[in-house]
Structures are given as C-alpha cells and as structure tokens.
Structure 1
Amino acid sequence: MRLPLRDAAALAAAVLAPFLVALALLPLRTGLTHTNLALLLVVVVVAVASLGNRFAGALAAVSAAGWFDFFHTEPYQSFHIRDRADLETAVLLLLVGLIVSQLAARARVLGAVAVTDAGHLERLHEATRLAGDTRSPDEFVRRVRDELVELLALDACRFEYGMLTGRPPRLRPDGSVQVEGWIWDLDRQGWPDGEIELRAVARGRYQGRFMMTPAPGSAPPPLESRLVAVDLAGRAAAALDHAGEPAEQG
C-alpha cells in the first residue's frame, strides 16, 4: 500500500531535520550548554511528530539523540560518549523526545478526529436538508452519489436500481467489507479489486445499490467515514421509499 505523502515527508524529516539542526548548531557548541542544545533538538522532534505520526516522532527522537552525541559530545564525530554528564543528557534527550513526540502526535490525531467528526456531522445535516428540499428522489440519489465520491475518495460511483445480481465486495452496515462471504482486512489489504457494493435499504426494503470504484492505490477511509457512507445510502433509500418510485440509472 502506498505511504501517504504527509507520512513519507514526516519520515524523511525525522531522519534529516535533527541532523541538519545539530549541524547548524556547531558554531554554538562552545557557547551553549549541552542541556540547551538538547532542548533545541527536542523542539525539532516535536515539530516532526506534529507533522507526521508516532513512528516519525520516535524516529526523530532517536535521530536527535544520535546526532547530539555525534556533533556535541566528546569525542566529537563519534558515537562514543566519554563524559557521564553528556551521557545522561543524551539519554534524557532520547527519553524526553520519545515522550513529547508521542504527545504531539496524539494531539494531532485528536485534532484531526475533531475536525473529521465535525465534517461528517455537517455532511449528514446537509443530506437531511437536501432530502427535505429536493422534490425528485433521483436528484437526491445523485447528490448522495457525489457525496460518496468525495467522502470515500472514490474514482467513480454509480447507482443501480433493481434486484441484486452477482456477488461483488460489499460495504456492510458496520463499516466492514465482505468479499465472498469473508470479512476483508481493509487495514492490511486495502480496498479489494473492482467495484464495491453499498446497498440502499430503508425500513427493511431494498431500493438499489451504489457501485463504488476506489481510486487506484488509494488507502481505505477510516471507519467513521465508512459509517457515514452507510448512513447516506440509507437516507437515499428512505427518499426512494417515500417517493415509491425507482431511481433512474446513474
């Protein structure tokens, strides 16, 4: 599975940023205490963790401790530490960097979750409003189809009305994906090949299905997004059920 661009950039920064900062601090090696130099490197670790993820933050902490040892402890240009106080500072830099990086990464995740949840809630409210304002259920189905493309980062999506045919991979109401009777491991395997079925069911009555084509190489969306997609499909089914007429082919 392709690594997201942001995570790839964070991993590169985790390796390079501590090295470059430690190198840039060489002229200040005799003017600053080792404690202050270590604190400056901790700032770099926090910045990397905020940009990337926990792994990038941990890698940055290890990199910062290593380059602090290499450039700023005697013997210089060596990963050997002669002085006990310098050894303690390097160890503390590593430990503090690891702890702070995990906290920074967690804060980033929590912030992203809050923004995502707010976006999902707004999307559902908008769908409810459209269901009330749209006279044609076909038009509402088209709007839901467009929402699914954006929400799940799909390459394409179409709506089929009629009886179920074939056994394509199916997005289930609990957000999992079923393939040939088995639950597909989305996190490990990514999207299955081909179109993925999302059934539009309201009050136990089948109204049709959205046939979704994920973008090539795209990572599956989080569970919350998949559950919102299921809810949107249910609202489309409710609109069709209320109108008592099939949706046109999309």
Structure 2
Amino acid sequence: MELAWYREHRMIVRLLAVVIPLLAAAGLYLIPDVVAKSAAALVLVLIVVAAASTGDRLSGMIAAVSAAVGFDFFLIQPYLTLRIDSAEDVELAVLLLLVGGAVSELASWGIRQSASATEQSGFVRGALESAALAAGSADEADALPRIAEAIGKVLRIEGITFEYGDHDAGAGVIQPDGTLRYQGKVLDVALAGLPHHPYAYTALPVARNGGQVGYFKISTPNQDIRPTREQLQVAVLLAGQWSLRVQAPRARGH
C-alpha cells in the first residue's frame, strides 16, 4: 500500500486521529441498547488500527488516547463526564488505552517490517485478534495460548507457553525496553541470542499491581534465536495487554 499521501498530509491525519474516535464514541452513546460496552471498545480499537495503518506512529497513539477519552466521556457512567465511579470501568478504560496503544505500535511495526501488502494485512489481522482477546472476547484459558502463539510468530519461535507464578531466578528475562537480562547482565539479543542451553529458558513477565502474575515461557534449547530489539518490544506489548486480565492462581480459584 502506498503511504506517500499520508506522509505528505500528516497534520490532517493526526487531526482526524483526534476527531474520529470522539465522533464514533458520541455515535455509540446515542445507541446504548444496540451496542454493548465491550463491543464499543472494539469498534474504537478498530479506529486506532486504521490510524496506525497510515504508517504514522504518532497518529496511532493520538487515536488511542482520543478513543480512551471518548470511551470514558460518552460510554462510561456517569455519562458526559470524565469521572468514573466503578473500579471495573476504570480497568476497562485503562485496558482500552493499553490495547489501543499496543495495537497502534503493532500495526506500525508490521507496516514498517512487512515486505508485501499481504504480509501487512496478515500482521494487522493478528494484532486485531490479540486486541479482541485482551478486551475480553475469549476466556483466559483459551486466549492465553493464542496470545503465546502470536508472540511466537513475532519472534519466529514455536512452543511458547504461559505459566502462572514467578519464573526461575536463572531464567533470562525480557525487559520492557526490548533488552534481555540474563545472569546479571543486560545482553544484546541480536548479537548474543536467547539463552539456548538445554535447561535454560527466557521469561516474558506479566505483572499486575506491582507483582508478577505469570510469564510467557520461551524455550529455545540448542537453537540460535536472535530476535531484534524491536521484535522483543512488540512481544512485550502483546504480553502487556494482559496486565489487567490475567489473575493469580489463587484468585482464579486454584
């Protein structure tokens, strides 16, 4: 897809990124009995993806913020105010902002990295599926393996799983900035690769309320896997969408 027009008219695109999510939220406010709150959130996420698909990362982020504000103002009680009384609604609004920002980054990253329009389309579809899962369209038990699969596609690694609890002290840990901390050192994974000893693995933590709920376990025994820092950052964004969804085993009744 040719993005030259968008690059030449970035100010217009960014203005639309502010206005369209607000207008969409206002329109959904007028039909509260037709569209459920969770479905309305996904509609706004789609608009964020459309903004990010222009190739301008800032437009996607602006759209994400605008969507979160519009969702709060028009679709969360008390209506037509930015006040939120329900803790559940606070989590939903924050989740929309996180998902919108993550999907924006995913779409932008996919467009920058894809070599063809088909690859771009497939990546955006994967981002949308991840956003829909994080927004609550699937049970946790069903969705987490699918998110693990999506992370595996980004890193080009098979067999990623989600584990509840804390990772082993000796595991490599992917940091939010896309670096890897392993054996007390920060490594450049593009040069050193992921830990690949038979009993070593890499953890992609999922935290909530300051504590680790679980982690995506990335095992690459005897494999020289060297994802880029950008790939790891996208993996972190995918995992981070679950910071408000994944519950600790005790909270889940186990």
TM-score by length of structure 2 reads 0.46
TM-score by length of structure 1 reads 0.46
Larger-gyration structure (1/2): 1
